[in-house]
């Protein structure tokens, strides 16, 4: 496994993390995770060097965190940094910050979240959370040891991204959609470099665009790949592009 830097943190994450948004399911029902197979996958990844596991409150219709709480038993929780995300769209008042974090800690069967993200920030959600003093709340949660570090995931324009990055020195990291067709979409390459220049770690979501980059490869692209000295699957090409 290759390892990278993570912003200002003295810790090396695996280049490949494990995301728990599209786990195997039963009867194509997102709420019915195939737990034996999914747990096998999570533990296989950790046993082979993956040390970053990512989930969120709504994934798999609110069953992903519960599943990971079970899958990371038997010492696996201690071997990874665990990331989950605040359901920002459900926050209506200040007390909701602690209410949802308490629920997530219980679901995940842990006493702390290593990396806590404000989920899916955009031009509407960020001002609403900022008005409720979310950053001051996060500082208290960090001081209490309930969360380790604060970050955010993002879906909006570059200008909004820059505004959020500049809003606080508390951010340790951000999560953006990034792959070889999304270099100018949302935060894009410009946002990636802006965040990195500010000292933030950057975690990539959608490196395969939900597997779409592995299907219906244009013949002109496949021809280039076929001519390469090293043969790779479409998924491997997409991941190598991100890792580069």
pTM for this model (two decimals):
0.95
Range of the domain at 200: 18-206
Listed residue (158, 241, 161, 173) closest to 207, CA to CA: 241
Asked if residue 13 is part of any domain, the answer here is no
Do residues 197 and 232 both lie within one domain? no
* Same domain, yes or no: 197 and 220: no
Radius of gyration of the chain (CA): 18
58 in a domain, yes or no? yes
E strands within 145-209? 147-154, 171-177, 201-205
Spatial separation of the C-alpha atoms in residues 20 and 85, rounded to whole Å: 12
- Write out pLDDT tens, residues 100-132: 999 999 999 999 999 999 999 999 999 999 999
- Both tokens of 204, joined, read 């990539």
CA pseudo-torsion sign 120, 169, 142, 129: negative
63 domain residue, yes or no: yes
Identify whether residues 66 and 177 lie together within a single domain. Answer: yes
Q: Element (H or E) spanning 52, and its range?
A: strand 52-54
* Band (17; pLDDT cuts 50, 70, 90): very high
Residues 221 and 133 in one domain: no
| DSSP H or E stretch at residue 41 | helix 35-47
């Amino acid at each position: 496994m290759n390892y990278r830097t993570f912003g200002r943190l003295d810790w090396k994450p695996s280049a490949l993390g494990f995301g728990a948004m599209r786990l195997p399911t039963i009867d194509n029902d997102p709420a019915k995770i195939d737990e034996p197979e999914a747990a096998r996958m999570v533990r296989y990844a950790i046993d082979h060097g993956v040390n970053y596991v990512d989930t969120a409150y709504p994934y798999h219709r609110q069953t992903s965190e519960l599943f990971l709480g079970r899958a990371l038993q038997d010492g696996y929780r201690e071997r990874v940094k665990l990331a989950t995300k605040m359901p920002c769209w459900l926050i209506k008042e200040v007390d909701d910050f602690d209410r949802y974090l308490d629920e997530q800690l219980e679901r995940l069967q842990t006493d702390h979240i290593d990396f806590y993200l404000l989920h899916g920030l955009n031009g509407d959600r960020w001002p609403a959370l900022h008005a409720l003093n979310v950053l001051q709340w996060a500082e208290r949660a960090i001081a209490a040891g309930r969360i380790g570090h604060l970050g955010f995931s993002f879906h909006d324009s570059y200008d909004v991204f820059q505004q959020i990055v500049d809003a606080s020195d508390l951010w340790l990291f951000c999560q953006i959609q990034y792959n070889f067709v999304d270099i100018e979409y949302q935060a894009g390459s410009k946002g990636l470099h802006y965040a990195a220049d500010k000292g933030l770690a950057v975690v990539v979501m959608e490196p395969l665009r939900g597997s779409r980059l592995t299907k219906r490869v244009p013949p002109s692209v496949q021809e280039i790949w076929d001519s390469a000295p090293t043969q790779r699957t479409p998924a491997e090409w997409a991941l190598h592009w991100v890792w580069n």
